Structure 1
Amino acid sequence: MDEENQDQVIFTKAEKINLWNFLKYDLSKYKDEGKERIAWYMYDWANQSIASAAFAVLLPVFLNNIAADEAYKGSLTVPCPDVCTLQGGCPGTKYPCKACVVGEGVFQWNPKAASITPIVPKTVDFMFPVGPFEFAMKVTSLSVALQAFLYITCGPMGDYGTHRKKGLVISTVLCCICLFLYLAITKPSMYVYAGILTILMNGFYGLGTVFYNSFLPLLASEHKDYKASNGDLRLWQRIQNAMSGIGVVIGYVAGIITCVVCAMIALGLTKKDGSSFLPGFGYRIGTRAALAFCGGWFMLFSLWTFKYMREYPGKDLPAGERLIFKGWINTYRTLREIMKYPETAKFALAWFVYSDACSTLSTVGVLAGTNILCMNATQILYVVIEVHVVAIFGCYFFFWLEGHFKIPVKYVLMMLVLINVFISAWGMSGFFESSQVGMRHVWELFWPFGFFYGLLIGALHGYSRATWADLSPPGKESEFFAFYAITDKGSSWLGPLVCAEIYNKTNSICAAFFFLCGMSILGIILIFWVDHEKGMSDVGRVPEREAHMFEEVTLASIEKITVMDLPQGHVVELAEMDGKDSSGTDSPVNS
């Protein structure tokens, strides 16, 4: 093989990986080489019942409703059956009810006075008096605090001994048990129990995700073609990005299925007034049964991962140290060590900012749909399903875009966050009374909100976790992914609290979009500040000379890389392989 052909193999091998041919290859090797990667994908299939159905729809609604039912003792929790207007009221309704006017919000219909007035707020006790919406937000904040504690305490355990897989199994089982226990909540007075259960479940779910993500760089390094390439950086990145993207796509397919099934369960067991068709089975049985289904789905499909994923034992614990304290010691050391990796620190800051902006946008959008656009749970569920369908397309599209035009990953991330800027700017327009758009019509939650949010969210998570894996020092994947999760969850309290305060000051949900737009723009600036390839070199994932070579690959100009530009030892000789694996089957990067 001459030098010119060697050059082509090194660079175009990676570019020929796409999500479909990579997954097809793994499926063709499901009994041997692909078995473990498929097991990794299956965990995304399993845990999306929690992320897509439980967290996105069921739990926020359930926590808000159970607190409202307890606060109002059954009064003013029934929506008005007639179409209401600010001028005409709800003339066909003879009892007090919640009147929602599309584009204006939720009010109270007083049939005696024949008028619509603002709802008188009531509270429940949860350490101190809180309203129903505040209760749901406070539970979320506390669950994030527990996640951070568990991340620090247990996350680095995967780097020592045989704890990586064990941590994944234990945290998953505990999360599923919490979901099953929602069946025991039989009356509104148990709202505190529901809050505690949610806090525990969210903590265990997040911890399992830390252990799961830490397998990604290890599995990419185990790929046959990467081993044969003698350390081809671009190939390793593409394998990792492909695995991450496939996991996200598979997860969103599972999310669509679980959302549909949960809707059938919840709606099938619940009347329009919120009461149950099976009163003997307890309070809000439809929602609780759907949550239990999510736990069953998570447990069932995680068994595939538990069976076929290897342990990947870590290094030995240093003498004299105790594992229970190692996480806190390592976190302190990580905070010091990250100063040695400035590009990793820059990306952590960028991730802190833009992940908060993107995740909060979803919460604010659902809140606007419920309280401004008068959308019911079924309509919100339609939006969630739309987001998942579009997210699948988004993962494929941006993975293709990156590979086809050889766009550096950080520019892909910047494009994705720019979409968040667009959505936020659209929502901001609703703050101005003269505007005809900006949460004024139901269709706006489907377009542009649902469509463009779906387009960005799947690819954003896939590229973000793959980038963080690039910037994590070898041998410290669990520890650094724990820090990654802490960075994400450490910011997740900020957006909701700021947006809630903005709402309290302005009485406008649309005003919160100003904050989200600003955070998104700041995130783009911080991503641009990160030197991805230098960061990989700093942590030891690619030699400095090779990293310098890849810095020359930019959006504006893709310069030809010759064999003489590469360090000795990184020239890939594939003449003996002839594009085949040991069994004679085309590998995914050569197909």
Structure 2
Amino acid sequence: MGSDTRAAAEQAPNGHDRRREQRGWYFYDWACSVYSTTVLTVFLGPYLTSVAENAADAEGFVHPLGVPVRAGSFFPYCVSVSIVLAILLMPLAGALADRTGRKKPLLAAAAYTGACATAAMFLLDGDRYLLGGLLLIVANASLAVSMVLYNAFLPQIAAPAERDTVSSRGWAFGYASGSLMLVVNLVLYSGHDSFGLSESEAVRICLASAGVWWGAWALIPLRALRDRRAAPGAGPAVNGWRQLAATLREMRRRPLTLAFLLAYLCYNDGIQTVISQASVYGSRELGLDQTTLIVAILLVQVLAVGGALGLGRLARVYGAKRTILGSLVAWTLVLLAAFFLPARAPVFFFVLAAVIGLGLGGSQALSRSLFSHLIPPGKEAEYFSAYEMSDRGMSWLGPLIFGLTYQLTGSYRDAILSLIVFFLIGFALLARIPVRSAIAATGNPVPERI
């Protein structure tokens, strides 16, 4: 028995312990997904843009660090900066996790840094756009680092045949959590007068509540999950970038794994940008009010629960690769439809939100589970560090292109249309990958349907 095989056997929990860890693992999606929905998708984009507009000069520009930036571009630029910071931190987190076997303490540090930064968003008011940008950068980077460590548990707590289902359930938990919190947000925001709150105060409470929720529910996975021994032969923790370089050199011997990461980098960049910029597009280009946007995002969350589970079932019939490719076609059609949406027409926006909800969770969940088959045993956090570089870590290009397109044209419609290229390239790259050969090349068992 080889060392990798022995490591996998030593780390595989029995059935009861495995199910207990899986249940605990789901709750990190439940904890942190509220940040993605309440903060990044619904409230912070329009609110931080309005704060930046309060601080703007007569030409509509703010000047962070002396650089002229159109107020409407400040939020997407901050998203890009946060992801560049994550790029610097994620390889270090992945290397430390694999070399020390201490995923849980690192997950706790990242989770509570992000939760505290999110809770501090209650302090945003007036023209404090620089504080808002700083808190966004810290929270977003912390979330990305925590997801490296969270995802790295998946191959250790789920057998190969279970991973599509376990990953999809995790996403479903996240979308259910986001839906529940958005209902509370909708009640608070729409009835802020009856609660004796200004609109700004209601938004800031909604932002801060996401941080409190994130920190409180993160306790469950931190209690349920357990650390494993470091990979055999692992030396002391090394510089994260050297470890990432070593990982990429090793991936050159697994070119199909590297090809999947490249495909995922492309199409997921488009997905992440649509998620983060949807509320800005709806409020600034389509003239929709905040209540309409909350209801639309709530619709996305509710349908994404069923969508994630439904696409998981489709993957069992047609395979994960074909199901993902079908979702990329749907994403392309969504962006084309968004470009032609009439302003101040919430019904059409709701229809588009429904389509997004049905495809959103499944495409991401199946990508995560498919990649887990492409990792050699004992390299989980290391490889998922590279995966997160393709997930949140390299998703700076989409917001940057979105922001630049708006800065140059002044049109959010042009900005949203520019994102189609990410889905087209991602589809073309993924379609060329023989996934069965890729899994076999890592030495992992090939599922009957993949």
Greater relative CO, 1 or 2 (CA 8 Å, sep 6+): 2
Q: Which residue of 2 aligns with 1:530?
A: 433
Query: 1:176 touches 1:299 (CA, 8 Å); kept in 2?
Result: yes
SS in 1 for 2:378: coil
How do residues 57-456 of structure 1 correspond to structure 2 at under 5 angstroms? 57-71=42-56, 121-127=59-65, 128-185=67-124, 187-221=125-159, 236-237=160-161, 239-269=162-192, 277-278=196-197, 284-315=200-231, 318-319=234-235, 321=236, 323=237, 325=239, 327-403=240-316, 406-428=317-339, 430=340, 441-447=345-351, 449-456=352-359
Query: 1:67 touches 1:188 (CA, 8 Å); kept in 2?
Result: no
Where do 4+ consecutive residues of structure 1 move more than 6 Å? none
**Partner Cα distance (1:261, 1:30) in 2:** 37
Distance 1:439 1:467, change over 3 A: farther
Query: 1:217 touches 1:469 (CA, 8 Å); kept in 2?
Result: yes
Query: 1:366 touches 1:380 (CA, 8 Å); kept in 2?
Result: yes
Q: Deviations over 1:7-31 (max 9, x none)?
A: xxxxxxxxxxxxxxxxxxxxxx998
Q: Deviations over 1:126-176 (max 9, x none)?
A: 121223222212211111111111102212222122411111111111112
How do residues 425-574 of structure 1 correspond to structure 2 at under 5 angstroms? 425-428=336-339, 430=340, 441-447=345-351, 449-542=352-445
CA drift at 1:376 = 0.9
Structure with max Cα Rg:
1
CA drift at 1:503 = 3.5
**Partner Cα distance (2:134, 2:276) in 1:** 21
Query: 1:165 touches 1:311 (CA, 8 Å); kept in 2?
Result: yes
**Partner Cα distance (2:373, 2:343) in 1:** 39
CA drift at 1:510 = 2.6
**Partner Cα distance (2:283, 2:204) in 1:** 21
CA drift at 1:342 = 1.2
CA drift at 1:500 = 3.2
SS in 2 for 1:394: helix
Q: Deviations over 1:267-296 (max 9, x none)?
A: 44469xxxx9457xxx93222222221111
Q: Which residue of 2 aligns with 1:46?
A: 31
**Partner Cα distance (1:163, 1:278) in 2:** 44
CA drift at 1:40 = 0.6
**Partner Cα distance (2:72, 2:238) in 1:** 36
Query: 1:262 touches 1:293 (CA, 8 Å); kept in 2?
Result: no
Query: 1:266 touches 1:289 (CA, 8 Å); kept in 2?
Result: no
Which ranges of structure 2 fall in alignment gaps of 5 or more residues?
Answer: 1-13
- Counting helix residues as a fraction of each chain, which structure ranks higher? 2
Query: 1:126 touches 1:135 (CA, 8 Å); kept in 2?
Result: no
Q: One-letter code of the match for 2:245?
A: Y
SS in 1 for 2:56: helix
**Partner Cα distance (1:66, 1:513) in 2:** 23
SS in 1 for 2:63: strand
**Which among 11, 15, 20 is matched to residue 35 of structure 1?**
20
Q: One-letter code of the match for 1:413?
A: I
**Partner Cα distance (1:262, 1:313) in 2:** 42
**Partner Cα distance (1:183, 1:366) in 2:** 19
**Partner Cα distance (1:269, 1:438) in 2:** 29
Q: Which residue of 1 aligns with 2:6?
A: none
User: TM-score, structure 1 length as denominator?
Assistant: 0.69
**Partner Cα distance (2:407, 2:134) in 1:** 26
Q: Which residue of 1 aligns with 2:8?
A: none
Identical aligned pairs, as a percentage? 25
Distance 1:182 1:336, change over 3 A: same
Which ranges of structure 1 fall in alignment gaps of 5 or more residues?
Answer: 1-28, 73-119, 222-235, 431-436, 555-591
SS in 2 for 1:492: coil
**Partner Cα distance (2:410, 2:63) in 1:** 24
Query: 2:144 touches 2:393 (CA, 8 Å); kept in 1?
Result: no
**Partner Cα distance (1:300, 1:414) in 2:** 36
CA drift at 1:455 = 1.1
**Partner Cα distance (2:18, 2:156) in 1:** 14
CA drift at 1:442 = 2.8
**Partner Cα distance (1:121, 1:159) in 2:** 51
Distance 1:518 1:134, change over 3 A: closer
Q: Which residue of 2 aligns with 1:11?
A: none
Distance 1:315 1:519, change over 3 A: closer
Distance 1:379 1:440, change over 3 A: closer
Q: Which residue of 2 aligns with 1:232?
A: none
Distance 1:395 1:184, change over 3 A: closer
Distance 1:509 1:184, change over 3 A: closer
Q: Which residue of 1 aligns with 2:10?
A: none
Q: Which residue of 2 aligns with 1:113?
A: none
Q: One-letter code of the match for 2:262?
A: L
**Which among 55, 60, 66 is matched to residue 40 of structure 2?**
55
Q: Which residue of 2 aligns with 1:25?
A: none
Q: One-letter code of the match for 2:108?
A: V
Q: Deviations over 1:205-230 (max 9, x none)?
A: 11111111000010013xxxxxxxxx
Distance 1:212 1:451, change over 3 A: same
Q: What is the root-mean-square deviation in Å for CA atoms of aligned residues?
A: 2.6
Q: Does 208-217 or 387-396 show the bigger shift?
A: 387-396
Q: Deviations over 1:362-381 (max 9, x none)?
A: 44543332123210111111
Distance 1:439 1:452, change over 3 A: farther
**Partner Cα distance (2:364, 2:178) in 1:** 15
User: TM-score, structure 2 length as denominator?
Assistant: 0.89
Distance 1:501 1:200, change over 3 A: closer
Distance 1:446 1:527, change over 3 A: same
SS in 2 for 1:284: helix
